[in-house]
Chains A and B, each alone.
Chain A
Amino acid sequence: MDATAFPYGLRVLVVDDDPTWLKILEKMLRKCSYEVTTCGLARVALDILRERKNKFDIVISDVNMPDMDGFKLLEHIGLEMDLPVIMMSIDGETSRVMKGVQHGACDYLLKPVRMKELRNIWQHVYRKKMHEVKEIEGNDSCDDLQILRNSFEGLDEKSLFMRSDSDTMRKRKDVDKDHADQESSDGNTVKKARVVWSVDLHQKFVNAVNQIGFDKVGPKKILDLMNVPGLTRENVASHLQKYRLYLSRLQKQNEERILGAARQDFSHKGTSENLNLRSSFQEQPSNIANGYPHASQNIQTQTNMLDSQLEDTKSTVPLPAPDKKRTLVSDVADSQNVTSASSLGGVLSFKSMPVNQDRKPSETMILECQAWNGGIPSKQFMQYPKHNHERCDLLGDYSCLPKPDLEHPVGPSNLYTPPPLISMSCSMEGDARDFSDVKPAIMDCIKSLSPALTCTVDSVSVQLSDSVVTSIDGDLKSSSVDGLPRIKDCCLDLTNSQGSLRPSQEPSIIGSTELASLPEDLPSYPLHGVSLENIGLSSIDLLNYSDAMILSGLQSNWYDDLEFSSEMDYPSIDECLFA
């Protein structure tokens, strides 16, 4: 394959039950010059994939879908089609992400998804192909891709296959002639098992990293320390990279969350406690039960985002990699003041943080601590190296790890509380409980209420046909949206007091735009239109108004409308204004 032209025309299948997201994602992917197929139902997606087996390169799917759990879809695709799958969700809670990892997702994106994240997805495809070719364990970063390219030329060949004889864990598939591996001349027909990063193995890795010090860590050193026969430097290198990326991503999310929390009413009380906790945490790595690291221990934010007063309370809790031991905490690279997560377990409580602080759509997951004794540490920051957006196979290789105990967050034993202390969320969501695992039964119930979205192949529009529950929006449509059926009268038993939209009250439209019918407590559009006209907001008049005037005028109109409407009878207003 031509490396330079590779990403273009990448065939992507996007699966999402949210039609708005589906439309946005499709547009984004098209702008990346990918070939996009959209689908609103997981089952339909599977059918499509089965039917056109070799016609897709990668699948992007939402996690929460009504007809089938996104993870199940992920499994199916992995088993049947062996395509790389990227999961997406508004929910960045650790347990969900872990689940994605377990089920083999090659990445986990948080909504709102940015185009730059989508631009990179081709790397997963490229990587997977290279895996198939050489069965190289762990391509981590673009650097690694470069290494791989180099290795095609036989540069790293020696180190890659040094232990191949003694390594019973590794296997290599037959080399594809097209991807001629000059280096793979030695026994490339011998199949060896992939390195499986078990919890124990990862623990060894973590221990080694701790010992060396995250700043000074390097694959070779780790490898030597780990002293695991059959493990190669490349295995370790890739694992290290994934680990770093994972931590970095979690940290970024968390720093946003912290920021939001910090802006609320956090005090500095917990500062000294945080700092003190560091040592205590490090001494209790074994307290961590099984399961994946919980974010409680890893709250990292960027120092420059914090108030000056928070400066002294810098303490970061690095995110441990998916592993039960937390010894990594202190070893996160570039951490300034690493504190143990134990300080966060049962200590930090982020409640209902306003989303206003959620400036950046979450590309990474935010770790949210639930309890914080002695006040919130005003600062838990860690300058973490900014990683590129490549996700690599960060999540992919952890599928072997045991399912985390979602009910009990990892952390020092004295900080255990049910439900999990840490929940990851993509935005400042102060969940008191972990709602990450919606029971399957609920999903089943939800599915019966969802509209039947049909899949359009190679087309832009998503056709909606509400099956069971119709929208209360009545006839919301715009002339530019083709193919959307008019949603007829709401079929729900909604009382008027609930402010349901009554299609019959559809006001006439401003200009040519047809607007949806409005709930009772809304100003009617005609009113609003009248207001606009009253202000004289014709194009010419705009010039004559100062911004302030317009602003106040508009705003007052808006507010007036809000008050006004509640006293008005909509139908009559409509009629008289637009008779």
Chain B
Amino acid sequence: MKKSLFDQASILFSGLFFLSTGYLDEQFCQVEDLQDEASPNFVEEVVTLFFKDSGRLMSNIEQALEKYPRDFNRWDAYMQQLKGSCSSIGASRMKNECMSFRDSCGQGNVEGCMRSFQKVKREHAVLRQKLESYFQLLRQAGSAGAATRPVM
């Protein structure tokens, strides 16, 4: 019974993530596949790490936007780092916004950069919320309290 709840929860949220919303892409699955008995909380650890580090990177960008006006090269370089970070867990929507930002940098479009950056932050926040719900639900559906989804 519990396992099927697991599956339900997993399928439910996986569907949300990958099919309808596109917040996460296949890379997230890859990360989930890495979770095993040796690292039972691997996914959550990685996600936590991601949000922490990406938060730092975003604040770098935020600072740079303020401190170094029109320094597109710098902005772009920072965003490149953030984009790389997004790719680690498959945060595809956030990564898209990162790329929009870089496009604006390429065009020398300050306003575009600012808008894109707001979107990046937004996606970051929304993704975090969703992932936390995801882990929460897994825990609820699961047994031992570890937010693990059985390998599908």
Contact = CB atoms under 8 A, between A and B. Distances in A.
Nearest to A478: B48
B56 A451 contact: yes
A351 B55 contact: no
Contacts of A529: 136
A155 B53 CA distance: 54
Of listed B51, B63, B80, B84, residue having the most chain A CB within 10 A: B84
B56 A532 contact: no
A561 B85 contact: no
A20 B50 contact: yes
A462 B92 CA distance: 25
B23 to A, nearest CB: 11
B44 A480 contact: yes
Interface in A16-33: 17-21, 23-24, 27-28, 30-31
A480 B148 CA distance: 12
Given A18-B81, A525-B129, 5 more contacts: A23-B49, A90-B83, A432-B103, A471-B53, A522-B126
Contact of B26 (A359, A462, A555, A562): A359
Interface string A242-272: 0000000000000000000000000000000
A347 to B, nearest CB: 19
B122 interface: yes
B74 interface: yes
Given A27-B39, A471-B53, A476-B51, A438 B80 contact: yes
Contacts of A431: 102-103, 106
Nearest to A562: B126
A361 B26 contact: yes
B73 A21 contact: no
B113 interface: no
18 contacts: A21-B85, A24-B31, A90-B83, A355-B92, A430-B103, A431-B102, A469-B59, A470-B59, A473-B56, A478-B48, A515-B128, A522-B126, A529-B136, A532-B136, A537-B137, A539-B140, A547-B12, A554-B16
A476 B55 contact: yes
B119 to A, nearest CB: 12
B149 interface: no
A559 B127 CA distance: 13
Nearest to A115: B30
A499 interface: yes
A510 interface: yes
A528 B62 contact: no
A227 interface: no
B59 A487 contact: no
Contacts of B125: 499, 518-519, 521-522
B53 A20 contact: yes
Interface in A395-445: 426-433, 435, 438-439, 442-443, 445
Interface string B87-126: 1111010011001101101110000000000100110011
B88 A20 contact: yes
Interface of A: 17-21, 23-24, 27-28, 30-31, 62, 64, 89-91, 111-112, 114-115, 351-352, 354-356, 358-361, 426-433, 435, 438-439, 442-443, 445-446, 449, 451, 460, 462, 464, 466, 469-473, 476-478, 480-481, 484, 487, 490, 492-494, 498-501, 510-513, 515-516, 518-519, 521-523, 525, 528-529, 532, 537-539, 542-543, 547, 550-551, 554-555, 558, 561-562
Nearest to B31: A24
Contacts of B45: 23, 478, 480-481
A90 B80 contact: yes
A24 B136 contact: no
A47 B3 CA distance: 48
A30 to B, nearest CB: 8
A185 to B, nearest CB: 48
B12 A551 contact: yes
A537 B140 contact: yes
B103 A471 contact: no
B88 A18 contact: yes
Contacts of A521: 122, 125
Contacts of B46: 20, 23-24
B88 A472 contact: no
Contacts of A519: 121, 125
A490 B58 CA distance: 12
A470 B56 contact: yes
Nearest to A30: B38
A426 B25 CA distance: 15
Contact of A515 (B9, B25, B118, B132): B132
B132 to A, nearest CB: 5
B59 A24 contact: no
Nearest to B41: A480
Contacts of A462: 49
Given A20-B53, A431-B103, A432-B103, A64 B62 contact: no
A432 B106 contact: yes
A539 B129 contact: no
A449 B59 CA distance: 10
B139 interface: yes
B84 A18 contact: yes
A345 B16 CA distance: 40
A443 B88 contact: no
A484 B62 CA distance: 24
B5 interface: yes
Contacts of A523: 129
Contact of A471 (B31, B56, B74): B56
Contact of A358 (B30, B92, B103): B92
A31 B34 CA distance: 8
Contact of A449 (B5, B54, B60, B95): B60
